[in-house]
Structure 1
Amino acid sequence: MNFKGMKSSNPAMSKFEQQSMSLGPVDELIVDDSQRMTVNGTINKTGILLMIVVAVSAWSWNTMLSNPSLGYGLAIGGMIGAIIASLVVSFKPHTAPIGAPIVAALEGLFVGAISAIFEMRYPGLVVQALGLTVAVMFSMLFAYRTGLIRVTETFKKVMIFAISGIMLFYVASFILSFFGAAPSYFEMGNNSWFNIGLNLVIVGVAALSLVLDFDFIERASEQNTPKFMEWYGAFGLMVTLVWLYIELLRLLARFQDD
């Protein structure tokens, strides 16, 4: 089975081309069309994962409002747990049917708590961020389907470089936070032009990552890929959407303060 050309800049998806060699004789897993990955199947599973994120987020939101100490613990635990679980799924695509829902639940813990924090300070901000996330997703889908944005090898390489840099920035900031030296980018209310510009760049990269996710899902669905890859594709798309939502939430908040 040929997996060439099935690259994605998404941190979750980019591991697949490396893992394809360890998947084993995947052709033997395909008996009929019902066992093949499809675009519709991936969309359905993406919907399931997003519903898990929303349901857990609602509980985490309420917990943050009623018990802030526990809410902060859920946010930190959810973030760390989601990172670890995402790495497992990324390196072991076979685990996606179980691992992807776990990641969704853990991300829900973080998303709900952080959303409640922003909403308490800026009422109505969460609805705006959600609306913008949906709008950006459909805009990127339109751009991809109409060919306004073409997924070339050069484009993929640039995106991989950009996302790698952003992920390194996140990790370094998290480590520095333990020493009280985290960048001001993550401070609520610190709205310097540099932070706004950086936020805009990160939002742009997250939005363009959706195009690569769409391309990955379409290409994988065309290449006789086993059914479990629907969960893997849905997992990658969910990760990007949550990332985009959080960064849009942060960006909108920057414009709320005078």
Structure 2
Amino acid sequence: MPLMKTSNPALGARTFQDLSGSRYGGFIGTEARMTLNGTVNKTGILLVCAIVTAGWTWFQFMETGNPASVAPWMMIGLIGGLICAMITIFKKEWSPVTAPAYALLEGLVLGGISAVFELRYPGIAIQAVGLTFGTLFVLLFAYRSGLIRVTDKLRLGIVAATGGIAIFYLLEMVLGFFGVHFTTINGSGVIGIGFSLLVVGIAALNLVLDFDFIEKGVQYGAPKYMEWYGAFGIMVTLVWLYLEMLRLLSKLNRRN
């Protein structure tokens, strides 16, 4: 099978190809296989896990109005989520356990961040959720109907753009320690909003690559546990897209 590429680090180029040397690869054996329906169901389970813990930190913050009340939980979620993500990427067969753990931990972070934004800009959280899921369903429909076709040029463009954004965010974080801030890009002006729209667009297009990658994994005959891994990959992209939606909406609110 030709090498499949995606900019999602959880669904890297060799995710399914690396299984070819195992007892699951190359359509060999009688083990249960990965299916699209199974991956969709498990994506739903991960979303429910994230919503449950997000709701908990949300209400904890709303009761006190003090970010310090949820800061420890958010830190646990951030560090724990990163650890679970790395374990899942390198130990795919553990994904039935690590993927739900990642979703639960990530929910702690998302709930706290959403509550902070909501307190400052009432209604922003539900708007971001609606836009995120709306984007997911629109792109899924466009992909399944053939309106968007994943070509090598499209993959290369999205991968390059995503890599550029990642490098920029890393550079911004490092320079921030030295007092250097990109106020124009982070501001609510035309350039700042334009940048956020660009990032939201790139994040959304990553979903298309994820759909295509998972579909090819199903065709390849990946083992059943890869449904959890595929769902985990979709979850990673959705978390990024939601956070970028919050950022964009906050800029738009600052202009009003």
Q: Same fold (TM over 0.5)?
A: yes
Structure 1 residues 98 and 176: alpha-carbon distance in aligned structure 2, compared to 1, 3 A threshold = farther
Pair 1:26 & 2:24 matched: yes
Pair 1:8 & 2:9 matched: no
Quote the Cα distance in structure 1 between the aligned partners of 2:16 and 2:34.
Answer: 19
Q: CA deviation at 1:68?
A: 2.0
Instruction: Give me the TM-score of the superposition, normalised by structure 1.
Output: 0.88
Which residue number in structure 1 is paired with residue 231 of structure 2?
A: 234
Percent identity between the two aligned chains:
46
Quote the Cα distance in structure 1 between the aligned partners of 2:81 and 2:39.
Answer: 20
Contact 1:12-1:236 at 8 Å conserved across structures: yes
Residue correspondence of structure 1 range 159-170 to structure 2 within 5 A: 159-170=158-169
Residue correspondence of structure 1 range 60-209 to structure 2 within 5 A: 60-65=57-62, 66=64, 67-184=66-183, 190-209=187-206
Structure 1 segments (4+ residues) deviating >6 Å: none
1:193-222 superposed Cα distances (whole Å, 9 cap, x missing partner): 222111001100011111111111111111
Runs of at least 5 residues in structure 2 that lack an aligned partner in the other structure: none
Structure 1 residues 71 and 174: alpha-carbon distance in aligned structure 2, compared to 1, 3 A threshold = farther
Pair 1:212 & 2:219 matched: no
Runs of at least 5 residues in structure 1 that lack an aligned partner in the other structure: none
Q: CA deviation at 1:21?
A: 5.9
Q: Which is worse superposed, 96-105 or 233-242?
A: 96-105
Q: CA deviation at 1:95?
A: 2.3
Which residue number in structure 2 is paired with residue 37 of structure 1?
A: 34
Q: Which is worse superposed, 176-185 or 229-238?
A: 176-185
Structure 1 residues 207 and 183: alpha-carbon distance in aligned structure 2, compared to 1, 3 A threshold = same
Q: Which is worse superposed, 114-123 or 147-156?
A: 147-156
State the one-letter code of the partner of 2:18.
S
Quote the Cα distance in structure 2 between the aligned partners of 1:15 and 1:28.
Answer: 17
Contact 1:64-1:72 at 8 Å conserved across structures: no
Contact 2:20-2:26 at 8 Å conserved across structures: no
Quote the Cα distance in structure 2 between the aligned partners of 1:104 and 1:130.
Answer: 16
Contact 2:49-2:100 at 8 Å conserved across structures: yes
- The 3-state SS of whatever aligns with 1:74 is helix
- The 3-state SS of whatever aligns with 1:151 is coil
Q: Alignment length, in residue pairs?
A: 253
Q: Which is worse superposed, 130-139 or 18-27?
A: 18-27
Structure 1 residues 21 and 180: alpha-carbon distance in aligned structure 2, compared to 1, 3 A threshold = farther
- The 3-state SS of whatever aligns with 1:123 is coil
State the one-letter code of the partner of 2:71.
Y
Structure 1 residues 136 and 167: alpha-carbon distance in aligned structure 2, compared to 1, 3 A threshold = same
Quote the Cα distance in structure 1 between the aligned partners of 2:21 and 2:44.
Answer: 26
Quote the Cα distance in structure 2 between the aligned partners of 1:32 and 1:253.
Answer: 51
- The 3-state SS of whatever aligns with 1:222 is helix
Q: What RMSD over aligned residues (CA atoms) do the two structures have, in Å?
A: 2.4
Structure 1 residues 196 and 95: alpha-carbon distance in aligned structure 2, compared to 1, 3 A threshold = same
State the one-letter code of the partner of 1:106.
L
Contact 2:7-2:159 at 8 Å conserved across structures: yes
State the one-letter code of the partner of 2:51.
V
Instruction: Give me the TM-score of the superposition, normalised by structure 2.
Output: 0.88
1:230-251 superposed Cα distances (whole Å, 9 cap, x missing partner): 0110001011111111111111
Structure 1 residues 216 and 18: alpha-carbon distance in aligned structure 2, compared to 1, 3 A threshold = closer
- The 3-state SS of whatever aligns with 1:191 is coil
1:97-155 superposed Cα distances (whole Å, 9 cap, x missing partner): 12211211121111000000110011111111111111111110111112221101111
